[in-house]
Amino acid sequence: MDTKKNRFSSKSNLGVSTLEEVYEKLYSGMQLENKISFASSKTKNKTINMSIGRVWFNLLLPDDFRLVNEPVNKNDLNDLIKEILEQYGPKKATELLSHIQEEAFKLSTISPSSFNIESLVLPTELIEKKKKFEIEANNLPYDQYEKKVDKLTNEYLKYFKSLNLPINNILDGKIKGDAKDMWKTLLISKGFIMDIENNISEKPITKGLTEGFNNKEYYEVAKEARNVLYLKAVAVRDPGYLARILTTANANIKLIEGDCKSKKYFKISVDKTKAFQLLNRYYLEENKITKITNKNIDNIIGKIIKLRSPLYCQSPNGICEVCYGDLAKKIGTINIGILAGGAINGVVVNKMMKARHMSSQIDLEKVDFNKLFEKSTIPKKIINNLFDIQKTKIFAKENCFVQIKKSDYNIFLVNTEKYYIIPSIFNIYYNIGSETEYITLPFNFLVNLYKPLNTVEDNRQFKLIYEKGELIINQEFIQKNVNNFLIINRMFGGNLKYMNKPELLVNNLSEEFPSLDLVHLELIVMNMFRDKDDTTKQCRLTSYKNSSVIGQSSLPFKTSWLNALIFENINKSIQIGLVENKDAEMNPIEKLVLTEDSKKSQ
């Protein structure tokens, strides 16, 4: 970017007018938070006092972009990027953001946000409070301990804020997680420990990482290390595989021109978070199709609206522009299925990387199975007939069994002496007369599934057969910061009997993706609902009559033999495409290949 365009009149008594002058001020010893006078077209040529960090940021933005004169943390930055994209389009926005990134690296070398140990010498008052905390917190249960350690952490933070340390710039921005959790673990208390078997230590470690541990404390922390390594293994491997599945399974979904004129709508309850997931989409307002924009977004908050959606698009050969919305116009592609897969995977990877960083500080939540079942979509009659539900325990009221393929869980399955630890959603089977039915338990956390007296296991699967009165699950806490990918993975797996409506699955997934445009999830879910008699056909054209839900790993074999060939199973794809002669109507990749081959043969 040409910084000369950011110059303003030198006749006024101003602080800086170019990036070079900002860097000169920093070289001379100024800090990013120091105030300096600034004027430009953004300020209508009026001189105002701003931190030199904000001056730097505004000089990097175009002259016709608004003045940014407020704290910008990670979430605010996401909103700013969307704003830049909407105002300047994808090409210029990419150039702007690339330039900002380049200058940010330069800035970090001139004014690094770091601290030294001398900065962290505590006043006597805080030292005495820390000693008192160690005595009082040693015998507290988890929830009371958390309140006490949070109170002391807030006092530490208040003290460090008063020092104006450069590290506060990172902590305030929440780039590396929540500041409170970081200071808590480093300086105050390692806290309670959860090991690989979901066991929680009886007492917290009341020392921070910087204070050092005795032999017993070190042993406790070492037990937790196995759990941390397990989480990191999950974080780096499976999100990449998910990207491959989502992209291959949904590559055939294209955007087409025009309006299908669908009269079927996705009825959705809109809160503030969801409203921003629906920007540039179309909904029915007073019998008129209206576009959701920043100007009218307040009109839909707190209401149930009828949204035009890919879930009910009536175009047979793709998703029409009105059902999809204007997002594709901004990014310049018709390959909306591939776009959805990439967008979802990007969020999943970020979630798992965050889980990796947070794994050294457990975040527990008390379990109440009664409340969890109240929120579920499973009929209460079935729940009451099958289970004796207590706050932290579930017993079998009737004979039932759990059968799990080990390959479905990969490294997620942990085998302990008394129970298996399995992630999130799984099925419990029961008999009605001569028929075997099942329900899906929608728990988005690691579950302690107890081993009954009758347990059958081989190399491929295990079967847990519960008789009346036997304990199925016993769990006091769940670890919140490790569950995101587990629940997402199982939902995309397609084995959710009581999420038999696409709206339910979209709403459940949207809770895991609060920052993602909802249309991506609608596309993926729409493609999972298939006709039971012909799984190559989507159910959106028949309002989901006679539907079955197909998981993402199976979809490539339903949508196209060519997709299956790309995916992983050559033998199966050849059988589908050449022996069974199945050809999915909507797959443009397949049509292109066949058309090109036929031209050559002529």
Q: Kindly tell me the sign of the dihedral angle through the C-alpha atoms of 320, 323, 324, 327.
A: positive
Length of the chain: 602
CB 248 within 8 A of CB 226: no
* Residue among 249, 267, 247, 246 nearest 311 (CA): 267
pLDDT of res. 449: 92
CB-count exposure of residue 4 (10 Å: 0-12, 13-18, 19+) = exposed
pLDDT of res. 588: 45
Q: What is the mean pLDDT of the chain?
A: 79
Whole-structure pTM value: 0.61
The DSSP string of 226-281 is HHHHHHHHHHHHHHHHHHHHHHHHHTT--EESS-------EEEE--HHHHHHTTT-
CA–CA dist 180, 182 (Å, integer): 5
Q: Bridge partners of 266?
A: 307
CA 488 to centroid of chain Cα atoms: 8
Q: Is 427 helix (H, G, I), strand (E, B) or coil?
A: strand
CA–CA dist 272, 514 (Å, integer): 10
How do residues 426-481 score in pLDDT, each as one tens digit?
789 998 888 888 887 767 677 899 999 998 888 888 899 999 999 999 988 877 65
pLDDT of res. 346: 75
pLDDT of res. 498: 54
- Type and span of the H or E element at 151: helix 142-163
**Amino acid occupying residue 286:** E
CA–CA dist 20, 26 (Å, integer): 10
How do residues 557-587 score in pLDDT, each as one tens digit?
666 656 666 555 556 556 655 555 555 444 4
Residue 22, both tokens:
């900002």
Q: Bridge partners of 194?
A: 200
pLDDT of res. 120: 64
pLDDT < 70: residue spans in the chain: 1-15, 74-75, 113-120, 165-179, 228, 230-241, 349-363, 377, 407-412, 423-425, 442, 444, 480-487, 490, 494-500, 557-602
| Sheet with 304-307, side-by-side order of all strands | 266-269, 304-307, 282-285, 288-291
CA–CA dist 101, 105 (Å, integer): 6
| Sheet with 435-441, side-by-side order of all strands | 435-441, 426-432, 400-405, 461-466, 454-457
Helices 142-163 and 124-137: angle between axes, nearest 10 degrees: 170
In whole angstroms, how far apart are CA 250 and each of 117, 319, 521?
52, 12, 11
**Backbone dihedral angles phi then psi of residue 519, each to the nearest 5 degrees:** -60, -30
* Residue among 125, 180, 172 nearest 147 (CA): 180
CB 6 within 8 A of CB 40: yes
Residue in the structure block whose two tokens are 């090409």:
91
Q: Is 320 helix (H, G, I), strand (E, B) or coil?
A: strand
